[in-house]
Structure 1
Amino acid sequence: AALLHDMIRLLLKEGLYDKEFVARNCPNFEEFSQSFLEEEEEDRTGVSREDLVEAARLYAEKGKKAIIIFSSEIGDPQLISMIADLLMLTGRVEGGAFPCLPLSNLRGASEVGALAEFYPGHGEVEDVDMRKEFEKRWGVSLSTKGGLTAVGMIEAAGSSLFGLYIVGENPVVSFPDTTRMVKGLSSLEFLVVQDIFLTETAQLADVVLPGISFVESSGTLTNAAGRTERLNKAIEPLTRPDWQVIAELSSRMGYPMQYRSETAVAKEKKALVKGSLEPRKYRFELKELDSGLESVSEEPDREYPYMLMTGATLFSLGDNFRTRRSNISLLESPGDGYIGMSPEDAQSLGATDGTRVSIWSRRGNISSTVKVQEDLPAGLVFMPTHSLGYNILTSLSLDCSTRSPRFRLWAVR
């Protein structure tokens, strides 16, 4: 975020931005520009000014340029804000960024209204005209307030939320602070889980419904560029498709969903989101840059001096619940995960490759196998996201703007 912040200031200072696009589409540009140009320059990144100037000028040149955003960075609101400002400044709001999303159809899920504060097509729930349009389409009265996020549902479990229906997700393993997840889900009066395996979350459920895998599914996928692509099943499913189960449950609970096929669902989706890419005005984010890693890291101290970073590895996907059931898991060593540390840290702890150690955070502890990694700096340890129980160590502290977990680094010992 700090690097992009400095690039934006250079583009403004050198006049290397798309003046025509900004003048036509960004009404708060003058205020935005002034806030950057009045700042005192300081080195936050360690990148030389020469390299920074070269990078800014290369990106400002006309032609197709793209910013690739890795999945681990998508949840950092400060970074995403800087990327959005950079795209607007250079007139690349369409196709100028390519997010490497952790799952294949996240864009499609958001388009059909799977976000707590949006209708299909990203229409805001608090938009009165938008709400009236969807009330007319669906023949129901809709709430004037957005719903709960996934984490918000867990936090409300047992107090204002008493039942939950989870499809294809394993929050006990994949969400931060496992202990808190289990406590929340166990507080529900009724939990239904629909999945292709009996996951840790499914084991807490009152009712488990069978799901189908992607090779048994037909429908559509929306890629990162916003294009809808057809998904055709490779084999016949052993049970009913997910959409049929959801439609029948809805009908039995009083809201009829009388779809006859995946095509009918896709047709409605196309009608609902057709206006989502209409021309619009853009506003720059006026926000002071946080210093260092304060916005994404938990504060270490004498008791918890190391910083834990987590992430995916080559041969595992997400929480590894599905991947570890395939032969590809044999390529991952050790298969149940590890804790990587620098040679200096390993030596100070008297550990070598294969040593079993206990890792403690402010929320709990697990044990794992040491893997000495030359590319890790002293004080930073790494655990792949397929490591058993790693989310016992992580925190559910939320970012106030995205309402998603804000930390990317956690203090451990």
Structure 2
Amino acid sequence: MNKKYLQHINPGIDSIRPYEAGKSIEDVMKEYNLKKIVKLASNENSLGPSPKVIEVINNFQNIHLYPDGDGKDLKSKISEVENVSPEQIILGNGSNEVLEIISQTFLSAQSESVFSKHAFVVYKLASKVRGSKFHEVDAKSWGHDLDKFLEHVNEKTRLIFIANPNNPTGTYLSHDDIVNFLKAISNEIIVVIDLAYFEYVKTDDYIRTNEILNEFSNVVITKSFSKIHGLSALRIGYGIGNADLIEIMNRVRQPFNVNAIAQKAAIASLNDVDYLNASVESNSIEREYLYNCLDEMSLKYIPSQGNFICIETPFNGKKIFEELLKKGVIVRPIELYEMPNHIRVTIGKRFENEFFIEKLKQTLKSFK
């Protein structure tokens, strides 16, 4: 069959692979004939969504009608929570879509982007798809080295991606780190600050978003409902920035990109502050539990400000991942991030964490 049309795909696409999500519970059960599976691979909230979200979903009607294409009610609630105007908000089918919209708006074969090594792979994918040259800057202690970022900024730079905290390493940047960096670059460059895991951060010097948005018009902050809010299956996130910048991005956004159930669920989740706080507290307690277990096992790990821990194993991380699958534990191998001996583990409930540690001990023992 003649497939000459494949010669004409856009530059950059031929060098990428489709994004590989974590293995599903159903797939692992079927493949290994297991009855008990603990999934700690995709940084979901192990507690699930708020009961108020479940109530909203169960009572949802009018599924035959298109959603509000502008998401007015949700933007009004986000506006209240974030202390910004609705005109400063763009909704996305997950914060991933917001990242894609930004890239579609500003990247081309004539422009360049900058991001860190060991950072969220979508930054690289979004750049490649648009044929843009990108600079993947060497990390510093597994995190962003913003001083080195400056060495790669030039007249063609249009986008800079900063993940805070960073996925998959869990490192973070302080407010002053980011402000000093923003002051050092041209206002013509858009800086995307990806805060998908911001709720989990417990440091006094973390980013203060409103101060940054008020001072720098070239910043877009992205946030997600897939992590602490527990709405991963509904695919919803948002971006915040200067109203003029958001208006331009909305020209690129697809109509009805966020479904009606997701919009109502997101509002319900934002309204349940107590549940979100309980999720943060649970994550902090279980993170310390896992730290203690890993210390007892003499395993190195990267201190994390997210709901996951990046663990260095004495062996190949992909092989550890495969052995854990056979024992009913799904984690994330991260050789894609040039970390071949590491695995990333979502912080789960206590019984999930205990099960993981038990199976990890068995796996490491079998490798010796």
Higher normalized helix content (fraction of residues): 2
Higher relative contact order (CA 8 A, sep 6+): 2
- TM-score normalized by the length of structure 2: 0.28
Greater gyration radius: 1
